[in-house]
Amino acid sequence: MPLIKLTYRKSGVNISKADSFVKFIRSSTRKSSKSGDFKNIGGFGAISPIPKQLKNPHIVTSTDGVGTKIEVANDLNKFDTVGIDLVAMCVNDLIVQGARPYLFLDYISLSKIELHKLKNLVKGIIKGCSIANCKLVGGETAEMPGTYNNGKFDIAGFSVGIVDRDKILPKKIKKNDLILAIPSNGLHSNGFSLVRYLIKKKKINFKSNKFLRKELIRPTKIYVKELLLLNEKNLINGCANITGGGIVDNLKRIIPKNLCAEINLNNIKTLKIFKWLYKMGISEKEMLKTFNCGVGFCIIINPKKLKLVNKFFGKNFKPYIIGKISSNNKKVKISGKVSW
């Protein structure tokens, strides 16, 4: 019986391409002033110093993915923005606790290494880390033939934040505190399975629709800079990242016992993409449960600090009042109707 030459490459795994990709990441992070210890990239683990300027430092961790938004990236053959989404989904959760994003790692799994795709994914991750002012210190790229169909991939992120004990959020949320909405810049990275289902059912060719192409691939807004400044100056009592579950489910997570977040839907300044989805047949109940509907973050503040808080935001992301804190056993109470 003739000897069959069995190699890892014949099984579908190309180590030389993986090595080339690692060299690309190392080179790309070296060009970034926020990439930290360049020796981390390609090593067995990442070593980073613990910040010394904090009196009583606490670590906050977060991990997340981008979900089926990656299918939109595949359909459009555009991969340089979902890396920003990946960073945003992790670091926006860190700042809810008041933590400053410090380290970031990524995990990319795919059927076959395609250097062009991977390089664009990493460029987005590096850009997201730059916006969030954190360090990309390592990651993993797994070539998994047989697990993913050709061209398919998934990405996940893991972030570490640091916060001084006296800056941990939420703080003392009180009756009559105001609830402000910080605008989103679109869908962010939630609800894409429903969006894609609608597009398929309505037989919409979104590739040829300029509006949908732009909106569906628009990267998630990273709120780190603004929120950290507010927390540093003790201007917020609590905040919520509005992701899957919408305004109601995410606010519930931070409202103390015997208090209630009263939200007036009439005040919500929604965006064109959400109006389009509503008009395509998604009910208001489902819209509010699935999407941010134009509210990227909610912050809870003392009414006396409203004018000062607004000074920390550019004109496109100015916070506005959507509710207040009251005494009630129901954690969130909604009234009014969104203007679609």
pLDDT, tens digit, 9 for 90 and up, residues 287-338: 999 999 999 999 999 999 999 999 999 989 999 999 999 998 899 999 999 9
pLDDT in tens, 48-81: 888 888 889 999 999 999 999 999 999 999 999 9
Concatenated DSSP letters for 11-35? TT--HHHHHHHHHHHHHHHHT-TTS
120's CB contacts (< 8 A; 6+ apart) are 78, 79, 80, 83
**What pLDDT score was predicted for residue 19?**
58
Q: How far is CA 272 from CA 66, 252, 277, 279, in A?
A: 22, 27, 9, 11
CB 150 within 8 A of CB 110: no
Q: Does the pLDDT at position 28 exceed 90?
A: no
Average pLDDT on 136-141 reads 91
The pLDDT confidence band at residue 151, using thresholds 50, 70 and 90, is: confident
Average pLDDT on 35-39 reads 47
Domains and CATH numbers, the chain: 15-167 (3.30.1330.10), 178-335 (3.90.650.10)
Distance between CA atoms of 258 and 316, rounded to whole angstroms?
34
What 3-state class would DSSP assign to 219?
A: coil
Q: Please report where in the chains the tokens 């996940």 appear, as a residue.
A: 156
Q: Does the pLDDT at position 33 exceed 90?
A: no
**What pLDDT score was predicted for residue 126?**
96
pLDDT in tens, 156-207: 999 999 999 999 999 999 999 999 999 999 999 999 999 999 999 999 999 9
**What pLDDT score was predicted for residue 47?**
84
Distance between CA atoms of 281 and 259, rounded to whole angstroms?
35
CB 157 within 8 A of CB 65: yes
Q: Which two tokens stand for residue 295?
A: 């509210």
Distance between CA atoms of 101 and 99, rounded to whole angstroms?
6
Q: Which two tokens stand for residue 79?
A: 């991969």
pLDDT in tens, 2-23: 666 766 565 566 656 655 655 6
Distance between CA atoms of 201 and 195, rounded to whole angstroms?
10
pTM > 0.75: yes
